[in-house]
Structure 1
Amino acid sequence: MTLFSQTGQAKREPQTKVRYSFLYSRKIAPYLFISPFIISILILYLYPFISAVKMSFERVLPGQVFFVGLDNYERVFNPVFFRALQNTSVYVLLTVVILTVIPLILALMLNHRLTRFSNFFRAAIFIPALTSVVVAGTVFRLIFGESDQALANQFLSLFGASALDWRYGSATAMFLMVAMASWRWMGVNIIYFLAALQTVNKDLEEASQMDGANAWQRFRYVTLPAIKPIIVFLVTISIINGFRMFEESYVLWETSSPGYIGLTVVRYIYQQGIRNNDMGFGAAVGIILLLIIFIVSMIQLYATGAFKRED
């Protein structure tokens, strides 16, 4: 009995060693660790994407599906879509500039050694990102109301200006959407820049200062190259999020905006696909939007040198 148990244990030990060597091998272990991420991508992203591409060639009705070929794509390029694309493009351009330049300036100020209570400001600026977009939209609608009693109009009256219908003008409507997005995400980008500024080589900064470089020269030739990766990252994320914007438009104009002044591409997809029950056409608009985001992102990454190899 003892000999049998020793023999069985001796057989199990090589099998256990083979199993552990297989799981912890350099060829298998990396794929094993990233397998949950790959599975989640396949289930949550790849399958919906394939379904959306398939649906864009169909006309989907309750209980009925018809293949219509390229008819949905031919209907995409209409005046309403171009107005939504124009609004979205202006929104993307403004948010990219504002959410890159201003957070960088504020991060440089907070990172300066002479700035007092920097830890308090670092915590406070992150609070807007935790605010619900519905709550933020409600507050903005109260502040920028069309009545004379609205806070923004009362402020204008101090300078003798007349009250504005903030949500019903083309320029002011865009201002509200950009202002809400900037208010919510400004603190997040500042945190990113603050983290990037910690990686700047202090010895190189001191050496450049000793060589007579002024503040602007130190920022341009020392700080800026060090934080360039985070700038490229934030610009890319801002472009993608800008084209995907839906919440700001929806909370400011629950039904529809006059003259499509607040219409974005994603809201156009929602109106056509969900409200008008035209899922095939909505899927076609979504695929066009995906291509636009991909092309713009590739151009931006190429222009900023993200594809260049570092020597």
Structure 2
Amino acid sequence: METQQAVVSTTRKKRAAGGGLLYSQKVAPYVFVLPFILSFLIFFAYPVVSTVIMSFQEVLPDQTRFIGFANYKKLLNPDFYKALLNNTKYTFWTLLILIPVPLVLAVLLNSKIMKARNFFRASLFIPALTSVVVAGTIFRLIFGELDGSLLNSFMHMIGLESQKWLRSSGTAMFAMVLLATWRWTGINILYFLSALQSIPNELYESAEMDGASVWQKFRSITLPLLKPVTIYVLTISIYGGYSMFVESYTMFNGNNSPNQIGLTMIGYIYKQGLESNNLGFGSAIGLTLLVITLLVNLVQLKSFGLFKKEE
């Protein structure tokens, strides 16, 4: 026993003499969080600060000079308004579909009377595993202009003429929203399912004993308890709507759609910042998009009462 105590005492002395700082209880927590802090500073804080600085500069391949708010004044142009309008429409339609439809499907898949629930859950989630590039290319072929494309073949079957689906603003937006619906419905169903399974069954049993109907249970129990998840899904859907780019890029086979009907905010950043080699103007567009997305999310969070103090 004395020998073990002597060994422990000797070890502590060596640690205190050699690496006492690393074995300190005050320093150890900072050592463990140091990788996260470094990652945050290198991959988030530094790019954000650099973007803010570049938005007030003209950054060209051979020169960089400070130009004040000139980049932000250049935002007042038709292409910027078109990109913002396209993203706003896209976000509106995706929210109108990707909130209520997955919610209803999740309730059905969570019901005990639903047959083959696991099969439908897996089937609806499979599109989320598909690459966006692959999905966009397939949808571009479906909405193709040729007579042999899938939709035009269907039009011929019912006696109608071929359509140029991706050359009209309305049908092109329909195609992009349909792609988003096909790909993201399963993800939102998963969110709602996880929340539904956390609701105690005793609440529904008590409501049944009181004579509540299916609609009354859904309105008075399910919807209120799903509010936190609904706010989360709404928030990430707004972000996803305003940051959409790959879907439009692959569907239109590039960043130059007819009459800019597929131009998005990220696509506009790509066109000005990378294709035109003007990183300063691209940074200004990116920061403006960040502010717009932040304001929209703050408004919807405020409308849901998320900032109210609990009594």
Normalised by the size of structure 2, how large is the TM-score?
0.91
Q: Which runs of 4+ in 1 moved over 6 A?
A: 5-8, 16-19
- 1:66 match: secondary structure: strand
Identical counterparts, % of pairs: 48
Q: Match of 1:61?
A: 60
The residue aligned with 2:278 is 278
Distance of 2:243 and 2:148 partners within structure 1 = 34
Structure 2: runs of 5+ lacking an equivalent? none
Distance 1:37 1:192 in 2: 27
SS at match of 2:68: coil
Deviation at 1:7, TM superposition (A): 10
Cα distance change, pair 19–262 in 1 and its aligned pair in 2 (3 A)? closer
Which residue of structure 2 aligns with residue 135 of structure 1?
A: 134
2:50 maps to which residue?
Answer: 51
Distance in 2, matches of 1:45 and 1:18, equals 29
Paired position in structure 1 for 2:300 = 300
Query: What's the offset of the Cα at 1:17?
Result: 10
Do the aligned partners of residues 213 and 55 (structure 1) sit closer, same or farther apart at CA in structure 2, a change above 3 Å counting?
same
Q: Is the Cα–Cα contact under 8 Å of residues 255 and 263 in structure 2 kept in the other structure?
A: no
Three-state SS of the structure 2 residue aligned to 1:125 is helix
Question: Tell me, what secondary structure is at the counterpart of 2:241?
Answer: helix
Aligned twin of 2:25: 22
1:11 to partner: Cα distance: 5.6
Change (3 A) 1:183 1:23: farther
Counterparts of 2:299 and 2:194, CA distance in 1: 26
Letter in 2 for 1:301: L
CA distance in 1, matches of 2:298, 2:185: 24
CA contact (8 A) 1:232 1:306 kept: no
Partner in structure 2 of residue 206 of structure 1: 205
Q: Does structure 1 residue 126 correspond to structure 2 residue 129?
A: no
What is the alpha-carbon distance in structure 1 between the residues aligned to residue 34 and residue 224 of structure 2? 35
What is the CA-CA distance between 1:112 and the residue it aligns to?
A: 0.9
Residue 23 of structure 1 deviates from its aligned partner by 5.4
Measured at CA, do residues 258 and 14 of structure 1 come closer, stay the same or move farther in structure 2, by a change above 3 Å?
closer
Shift in Å at residue 40 of structure 1?
1.9
Corresponding letter in the other structure for 2:130: T
Q: Number of aligned residue pairs: give it.
A: 304
Range 248-257 or range 68-77, more displaced: 248-257
- Aligned AA (2:290): L
Partner of 1:12: 13
What is the rounded CA distance, in whole Å, between the counterparts of 2:219 and 2:32 in structure 1?
Answer: 40
* CA RMSD, 1 decimal: 2.4
From the superposition, tell whether residues 301 and 6 of structure 1 become closer, same or farther in structure 2 (CA, over 3 Å).
Answer: closer
Structure 2 distance, partners of 1:204, 1:6, is: 60
Equivalents in 2 of 1:189, 1:198: separation in Å? 14
Three-state SS of the structure 2 residue aligned to 1:22 is coil
Aligned runs of 1:97-108 on 2, under 5 Å? 97-108=96-107
Question: Aligned with 1:95: secondary structure?
Answer: helix
What secondary structure does 2:177 align onto?
A: helix
Change (3 A) 1:35 1:94: farther
Alignment CA distance shift 1:69-1:187 (3 Å): same
Deviation (angstroms), 1:115: 1.0
Give the direction of change, closer, same or farther, for the CA distance of 1:13–1:52 in structure 2 (3 Å limit): same
Q: How does 1:61-210 map to 2 (within 5 A)?
A: 61-210=60-209
Taking the aligned partners of 2:203 and 2:46, their CA distance within structure 1 comes to 49
Aligned to 2:260: 260
> What stretches of structure 1 of length at least 5 have no aligned partner?
none
TM-score between the two structures when normalised by the length of structure 1: 0.91
Q: Which amino acid aligns with 1:271?
A: K
Q: What is the DSSP-based 3-state SS (H/G/I as helix, E as strand, rest coil) of the residue aligned with 2:99?
A: helix
Post-superposition CA distance 1:128-163 (Å, at most 9, x none): 111111111111111111122111122223333322
For each residue in 1:214-235, what CA deviation from the matched residue of structure 2 results, as whole angstroms up to 9, or x when unmatched?
1111111111111111100000
CA-CA distance at 1:191 after TM superposition: 0.8
Partner Cα separation in structure 2 for residue 34 and residue 301 of structure 1: 31
> Structure 2 counterpart of 1:250, which letter?
Y
How far residue 36 of structure 1 moved from its aligned partner, in angstroms, is: 3.3
What does the per-residue CA deviation read over 1:265-290, in whole Å, with 9 as the maximum and x for residues that have no partner? 11001001111111111111111111
* Match in the other structure for 2:220: 221
In structure 2, C-alpha distance between the alignment counterparts of 1:33 and 1:175, rounded to whole Å: 49
Deviation at 1:97, TM superposition (A): 1.8
- CA separation in 1, counterparts of 2:277 and 2:100? 41
